[in-house]
């Protein structure tokens, strides 16, 4: 079964091939839940200690208000920090091959804070697609006959990259057979 973050062929026709890498972040749902639970426990227990310290000098209503503000502020900062980390580590992208226009466009986003970037090349200049591999990640690279290769800039362990390379090579081979 292909995961939601896997490279996916979203359009395949005789004139167009579009492969998308849906957005994902380094902050997974489980990691956020675990961090949230740990920090909530920390704020709960430090709030209890704070209540013990201030109970001798302040009225119970004032102590309850101080503890509530402390916990609310701490949890708010935690949620904000997790959201910022999620947005900073967000990545997405796509590879679009268009036989009608004779172009290939790679678009990617490395963070929600930065604009999406696009590299393009002429379809006729491409020889094949390969999967560059490292021990724990890979990326799609389109090998050019002349000029520089067009490489997807995001190294990842997302599934579906091998299928995307096969689909790109089939698309490129179909365009060379038609010449």
pLDDT tens-digit map of 116-134: 999 999 999 899 999 998 8
Ramachandran quadrant class, 35 (left: phi over 0; alpha: psi -120 to 50; beta: rest): alpha
* Domains identified in the chain, total number: 2
DSSP codes joined into one string, 9-35:
EEEE-SSEEEEEEEEE-SS-HHHHHHH
| pLDDT exceeds 90 at position 6 | no
Report pLDDT digits (tens) over 37-55: 999 899 999 999 999 999 9
Residues 111 and 159 in one domain: yes
Residues 166 and 97 in one domain: yes
Residues 49 and 115 in one domain: no
| pLDDT exceeds 70 at position 172 | yes
Residues 79 and 145 in one domain: no
CATH number, position 123: 2.30.29.30
Q: Does 3 fall in a domain?
A: no
Residues 114 and 160 in one domain: yes
Query: Could you tell me the end-to-end alpha-carbon distance of the chain, in angstroms, rounded to an integer?
Result: 37
Quote the pLDDT of residue 1. Answer: 36
Residues 33 and 110 in one domain: no
> Where are the strands (E) in 51-134, listed by range?
91-98, 103-109, 117-122, 126-133
**Residue ranges making up the domain that contains 167:** 8-24+92-174
**pTM of the prediction?**
0.76
The last residue of one of the domains, among 46, 67, 88, is: 88
Residues 70 and 97 in one domain: no
Report pLDDT digits (tens) over 137-170: 889 999 998 878 888 888 888 888 999 999 999 9
Q: Does 74 fall in a domain?
A: yes
Residues 112 and 47 in one domain: no
Residues 35 and 54 in one domain: yes
Residues 13 and 96 in one domain: yes
Mean pLDDT value across the chain: 89
Q: Does 161 fall in a domain?
A: yes
Residues 84 and 158 in one domain: no
Q: Does 79 fall in a domain?
A: yes
Burial class (CB in 10 A: 0-12, 13-18, 19+), 172: buried
Q: Does 1 fall in a domain?
A: no
Q: Does 179 fall in a domain?
A: no
Residues 112 and 66 in one domain: no
Report pLDDT digits (tens) over 54-91: 998 999 999 999 999 999 999 899 999 999 999 999 99
Q: Does 2 fall in a domain?
A: no
Q: Does 48 fall in a domain?
A: yes
């Amino acid at each position: 079964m292909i995961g939601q973050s896997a490279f996916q062929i979203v359009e395949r026709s005789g004139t167009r091939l579009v492969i998308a890498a849906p957005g994902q972040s380094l902050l997974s749902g489980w990691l956020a839940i675990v961090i949230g639970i740990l920090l909530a426990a920390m704020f709960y227990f430090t709030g209890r200690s704070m209540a013990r310290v201030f109970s001798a000098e302040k009225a119970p209503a004032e102590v309850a208000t101080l503890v509530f503000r402390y916990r609310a502020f701490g949890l708010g900062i935690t949620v904000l920090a997790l959201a910022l980390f999620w947005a900073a580590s967000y990545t997405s992208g796509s590879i679009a091959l268009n036989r009608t226009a004779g172009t290939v466009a790679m678009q990617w986003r490395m963070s929600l804070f930065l604009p999406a970037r696009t590299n393009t090349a002429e379809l006729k200049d491409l020889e094949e697609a390969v999967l560059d591999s490292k021990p724990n990640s890979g990326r799609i690279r389109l090998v050019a006959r002349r000029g520089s290769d067009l490489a997807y800039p995001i190294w990842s362990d997302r599934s579906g990259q091998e299928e995307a390379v096969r689909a790109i090579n089939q698309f490129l081979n179909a365009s060379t057979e038609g010449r």
